[in-house]
Amino acid sequence: MKTCIVTGASRGIGRAISVALSQQEDIQNFIILARTEEGLVETKGLMAAGKNIEHYHIDLTNYEEVQTLVQAIGQKYGTIDLLINVAGYADPKSLLETTIENWETTYRINVHSIFNITKEVVKFMKRTGGKILNVASTSGITPRPGWLAYASSKAAIISMSQTLSEELSDYGILVYCISPGRCATELRKILAPDEDPTTIMQPEEVGDVVRHLLSDSGVCLDGQNIIVRKQVKKQTASVKVEVAPAGVVK
């Protein structure tokens, strides 16, 4: 029976992925992480019954605390089969509005914390093989004026995923990277406050994709940046056609 760690599990996409993966018969042990205990407890309540679910409210940028926790989990369960790096942060600003604090916070949460937890998990995972899935963003592959720190941190995740996919293949570790488009979560509200959340992709839809990717049928999709995006339905505009009277050239 497999053991799975999910970060960013207190709400949004991390919650949806935790719920979706809990439907998988071969995963029995879940360790769900975020800073907000309330949110984690709520997620736990939505996950499939009969699973062993441990939740830890932890700030992923407390690197040493995370290392200690992963070591304890690895020792308790013997290995860690799945690591799902979802936690993320956005405070979108233009270049001249971006402070060094904003830049550093964005990178500490979005990039450094993934490096830190992945390194610690791989110390166990390399013995048995396993799967790692990182959540990047479409903003990491196309320009986003005004989102400099966030978008570039997501590009870093795509690059890290591709490098690790090759580096860790000798251990039987598959590394996946998904880049969601707009998805109705609290983070999206920060990026696009005026958008109607009912018109865009829902977190559960991303959860379903991840469940499929990490199943046996997803074994040929590692090492690539997989875009997960829903086409937004356009309102059919009523088009008024004016026909010029015969003989009149307009």
Ligand X SMILES: NC(=O)c1ccc[n+]([C@@H]2O[C@H](COP(=O)([O-])OP(=O)(O)OC[C@H]3O[C@@H](n4cnc5c(N)ncnc54)[C@H](OP(=O)(O)O)[C@@H]3O)[C@@H](O)[C@H]2O)c1
Q: What is the closest distance, in whole angstroms, from the C-beta atom of residue 1 to ligand X in the complex?
A: 25
Please name the residues in contact with 179: beta carbons below 8 A apart, sequence gap of 6 or more. 136, 137, 138, 140, 141, 154, 158, 225, 226, 227, 228
* Unique residue bearing structure tokens 């956005």: 90
For ligand X, the binding residue among 8, 74, 207, 218 (CB under 6 A) is 8
* C-beta of 103 vs 171, nearer to ligand X: 103
Please name the residues in contact with 29: beta carbons below 8 A apart, sequence gap of 6 or more. 1, 2, 3, 4, 51, 52, 53, 54, 77
Reduced to 3 states (helix: H, G, I; strand: E, B; else coil), residue 54 is: strand
Q: Identify the burial level of 245 via C-beta atoms within 10 angstroms of its C-beta, where 0-12 means exposed, 13-18 middle and 19 or more buried.
A: exposed
Report d(CA 10, CA 37) in Å as an integer: 7
Using the rule CB under 6 A, give the single segment among 68-76, 95-103, 183-191, 229-237 that binds ligand X: 183-191
Residue 87 interacting with ligand X (CB under 6 A): yes
Q: Identify the burial level of 233 via C-beta atoms within 10 angstroms of its C-beta, where 0-12 means exposed, 13-18 middle and 19 or more buried.
A: exposed
Q: What is the closest distance, in whole angstroms, from the C-beta atom of residue 245 to ligand X in the complex?
A: 50
* C-beta of 137 vs 165, nearer to ligand X: 137
Using the rule CB under 6 A, give the single segment among 5-13, 72-80, 159-167, 230-238 that binds ligand X: 5-13
Give the residue among 99, 111, 93, 87 at the shortest CA–CA distance from 191: 93
Site string for ligand X, 28-67 (x = CB under 6 A): ------xxx--x-------------------xxx------
Site string for ligand X, 93-112 (x = CB under 6 A): ----------------x---
* C-beta of 43 vs 165, nearer to ligand X: 43
Residue 135 interacting with ligand X (CB under 6 A): yes
- What residues line the site for ligand X (CB under 6 A)? 8-14, 34-36, 39, 59-61, 86-89, 109, 135, 137, 180, 182-183, 185-188
